[in-house]
Structure 1
Amino acid sequence: MERMLVLQSDFGLSDGAVSAMYGVALSVNPDLRISNLTHDIPPYNVWEASYRLLQTVSYWPEGTVFVSVVDPGVGSKRKSLIAKLASNQFIITPDNGTLTHLIKTKGLEEVRELDEVRNRLPNSGESYTFHGRDIYAYTGARLASGVISFEESGKKIEPTTIVQLSIQDATISDTKVNGSIDILDVRFGNIWTNIHRSLFTQLGINYGDLVDVAIEDGTRQVYKHTMSFGRSFADTLIGKTVLYVNSIDHIAIGINQGSFAKAYGVGTGYNWKIKIQPIV
């Protein structure tokens, strides 16, 4: 069965790296359907690579093969993986934490350690810095085209043995919800939190209600204001903030036709905390 191949990397599009991956995949099967998830992951940012898979994978058909190459350990002893999700989709990626969010939200049905000797572009054996082309795109195309099966890709390993990043869960008390800022809606500067809508609604907040929002970077408070909870940016004036449910059902904050992240110098990661409390 022929599947689709979806590519993600931190390579950017300013040189020929991504084009080379396309070329290798199409040399396996000229009729293969290939799409890009993104190639604008910040260099070496495994966390964002993991999150963008979470953001995207659920909207692709069963059987889709994803290749994610954010690989600061390329050429080292780090393993290469092929993971089969419970949704019967496949992820080919370094063993560096890229699967973290999918493990937490979708679950892995099976994981195999990719045999990098057998699954390698012919005549590329002395190249150790472009596994995205020589191993991952090549193997992804062969798997998507049915040249190899998942079982033929390498030995089966225990999912508990692979590398995972630390994920912090949001928490709730009687009066507020505490979370962290996981990622940015990059182009528009909205901040996306780890607070799921189902947790947030336990506070009894309805559309149009006002909430107090505080954001801290470690011990430094960078933002503390009141804003409304809206369905979309249309629920507030241009230049004003709004708290809303984003496209993956988590709580987010933005400015109508502005960048919240730039306006207030807000970043992402473990140290960036957010507290949301209804005004009663």
Structure 2
Amino acid sequence: MKAIYGILLVALSACTSKNGVVVFQSDFGVKDGAVSAMKGVATEVDPGLKLYDLTHEIPAYNIWEAAYRLQQTAPYWPAGTVFVSVVDPGVGTGRKSVVAKTRTGQYFVTPDNGTLTLIAESIGIESVREIDEELNRRKDSRKSYTFHGRDVYAYTGARLAAGVISFEEVGPLLGDSVVRIPYQKPVLKGDTLAGNIPVLDIQYGNIWTNINDSIFNKLQLSPDKKVQAIITFRDSVVFNRPVPVVSTFGAVPEGQPLAYLNSLMNFSLALNMRSFADSFHISSGPEWKVKIVPVK
């Protein structure tokens, strides 16, 4: 009776994790066949899977940006969705290959190299399992050491999304912790807000911060107020000047700086119809910090 009950639990787990959706992210680009190879592996597991791309334009080796794009996108996908994220400069080394199950019932198949930093903080991780490559690796791929995205991650993610395996069958349980990248979290001290520049609004060169509207509004700025925006990289000041806080780009003349809340309701900086990032040589990542002080 206990054996039958155990089988039923495994079957139920597989059913509840299956929605047939796999979302791919990588730093591969689409100039060659790498992305297509991953999708081919997934399709071979189950031709009925629904395969989508988050992005394959993560800058090469940029684990931090991979972490941000997952956090930015995951809340808009349903429970049961499997994300396969492959930004893996340590491929073939001792870093762990894992599947993380979040508290929202999504799954993230990825190297445990910091990619899950922001997902762990924003959504929360219920548990993490290390991929058992004796069971969850594409057949006849053991001589390949540099394309785990195809041979391990796409294969395991597809099997999980298709219900071929349950989460418990991924491999041994590691707990609920993952490797995390340190960065400046948003904090208000006195009248000074400090935060991080996690990513750029790449198409337009706007500067997005991790300072959300709830903490920004604690400054209690009056309409048409200015703030002193100070941007540093490795503690060297790159930008330091007052900017008006407005609701839309057209509130300032073309080419002039402004501060605003972006579509994610985070404090941001821009030049009207110009690239702020290019003009002031600003990038993003854990070493890029910003301070905001009201101009009196």
TM-score scaled by length of structure 1: 0.94
Q: 1:234, CA displacement in angstroms? A: 3.2
Instruction: Measure the CA separation in 2 of the matches of 1:203 and 1:73.
Output: 42
Counterpart for residue 271 of structure 1 = 287
| Aligned match for 2:202, one of 186, 197, 210 | 186
| Residues 1:113 and 2:150 are matched in the alignment | no
Contact 2:62/2:87 (8 A) holds in 1: yes
Counterpart for residue 9 of structure 2 = none
| Aligned match for 1:257, one of 264, 268, 273 | 273
Counterpart for residue 255 of structure 2 = 239
- Alignment partner of 1:128: what SS? coil
Counterpart for residue 22 of structure 1 = 39
Counterpart for residue 11 of structure 2 = none
| Residues 1:123 and 2:140 are matched in the alignment | yes
Over 3 Å counting, the alpha-carbon distance change for 1:112 and 1:173 in structure 2 is: same
Q: 1:219, CA displacement in angstroms? A: 4.2
- The code of the aligned residue for 1:253 comes to L
Counterpart for residue 153 of structure 2 = 136
Contact 1:222/1:266 (8 A) holds in 2: yes
| Aligned match for 1:203, one of 205, 219, 228 | 219
Counterpart for residue 230 of structure 2 = 214
Larger gyration radius, structure 1 or structure 2: 2
| Residues 1:223 and 2:261 are matched in the alignment | no
- The code of the aligned residue for 1:247 comes to S
Single out whichever of 5-14 and 199-208 deviates more from structure 2: 199-208
Over 3 Å counting, the alpha-carbon distance change for 1:147 and 1:72 in structure 2 is: same
Counterpart for residue 7 of structure 2 = none
Equivalent pairs: percent with the same residue?
A: 48
Per-residue displacement from partner, 1:2-34 (whole Å, max 9, x unpaired)? 331000001011111001111111111112111
Counterpart for residue 98 of structure 2 = 81
- The code of the aligned residue for 1:71 comes to D
Work out the number of aligned pairs and report it: 279
TM-score scaled by length of structure 2: 0.90
Q: 1:277, CA displacement in angstroms? A: 1.6
Instruction: Specify every segment of 5 or more residues in structure 1 that has no aligned partner in the other structure, as ranges.
Output: none
Single out whichever of 270-279 and 80-89 deviates more from structure 2: 270-279
Q: 1:188, CA displacement in angstroms? A: 1.5
Would you identify which runs of 4 or more consecutive aligned residues in structure 1 move more than 4 Å? none
- Alignment partner of 2:89: what SS? coil
